[in-house]
Structure 1
Amino acid sequence: KLRKIHRLDALLDEAVKLMPELGSFHEFCERASSYYLADRYPPFGSLKVTEEDIRKDLGSAKKLIKHIFPEEKLND
């Protein structure tokens, strides 16, 4: 059964059952989820994120997309 959820790490846990190679993206998905939650629910905390952190995670996001959708064209 599909469930509505915003935590990418939880979604990744399900995806890994079908594509085990995605397991290497777990830390990235945890960080990306924290970005969303901090932005959506500011009273629960703020993040100290640098531009370098964002650039690194953007690269990880693109790699994850390419793993799931190999035919997808992404802008660099």
Structure 2
Amino acid sequence: MLHEPPLALITNGRLQHHNLRREMLTKEDVLEQLRERGIDDIRRVKQCCLEADGHFSVVTFDGEPESAPEVGSSPVH
């Protein structure tokens, strides 16, 4: 079974508009995914990829992968 390689949507804080168009995504779609991970500034993102399974993977310049919150999980206080 062949898997598509991850597609870069953000590289070094810059949107890859060609790849967004290729996947019919908007800037707002990507910014929403970043906000869900607590990232409020695209310039903090070293790499954001659309994975073969449709999920976004995000790595910030501090080197930490950012994960989306679990659906239905309660916030930690």
TM-score (norm 2): 0.25
Compare relative contact order (CA 8 Å, sep 6+) and give the higher one, 1 or 2: 2
TM-score, normalising length from structure 1?
A: 0.26
Q: Which has the higher helix share?
A: 1
Q: Over alpha carbons, which structure has the higher Rg?
A: 1
